[in-house]
Amino acid sequence: MIYAFDTFYYEDFAKTVCIAFESWSSEAESFIYTENTEITSDYESGAFYKRELPCILSLLKKINLKDGDLIIVDGYVTLDNSGKIGLGGHLYNSLNKKYPVIGIAKNGFASEDDLRKTVFRGESKTPLFLTAIGIDADLVKTNVENMHGAYRIPTLLKKLDQLTREKDELYFGN
């Protein structure tokens, strides 16, 4: 199973959504998990993981990961050639390096990273940026290029982004 995570920040809470799907070629999700949590830290440039990692780890408590499962985050696994890691790298370490983590980012990151792959999909001239740990990034790149959908962002990742932005009617975290 592949589990893709994204979080959107509202004024008083964070909404984290996970779409689970069977394979890279899946057109539809198998499961959707969602959770609203308190925002535990402010945005900090270069340390985005401090804000989003607690949200993902909290939602992961609802999911029974199995050997062979993959995790996708909206962001980066590695940030530069000096070994600095991003959200995905911190998630990988938090999960005791047991599950491969793939970062798929929509925006470029300024520093050079020889491990970062650019993925062009559809007719788009704007790439997605892919980083990975615990799995071969070139294999993942081919899989992401072939995910369902004719546009830059694969169908299921676009749906994930949309779901995080749909504000729930009620939030009981206050």
The packing angle between helices 87-94 and 49-60, to 10°, is 40
- Classified as helix, coil or strand, 38 is coil
State which amino acid sits at residue 20: A
pLDDT in tens, 7-38: 999 888 999 999 999 999 999 999 999 999 98
* Number of neighbours of residue 134 by Cβ within 10 angstroms: 16
- Per-residue pLDDT band for 44 (boundaries 50, 70, 90) equals low
Residue 97, classed as helix, strand or coil, is: coil
Helix%, strand%, coil% for the chain, nearest 5: 25, 25, 50
Q: What are phi and psi of 94, to 5 degrees?
A: -65, -25
Share of the chain above pLDDT 90, in %: 81
Query: H helices within 66-169, ranges in order?
Result: 87-94, 137-145, 155-165
Sequence letter at residue 44: E
Domains and CATH numbers, the chain: 2-165 (3.30.2170.10)
Bridge partner list, 105: 129
Q: What is the pLDDT of residue 112?
A: 92
CA-based torsion, 6, 126, 48, 53: positive or negative: positive
Number of continuous H segments (helices) and E segments (strands) in the chain: 4, 7
Q: Is the pLDDT of residue 169 over 70?
A: no
Each residue of 88-118: pLDDT tens digit? 999 999 999 999 999 999 999 889 999 999 9
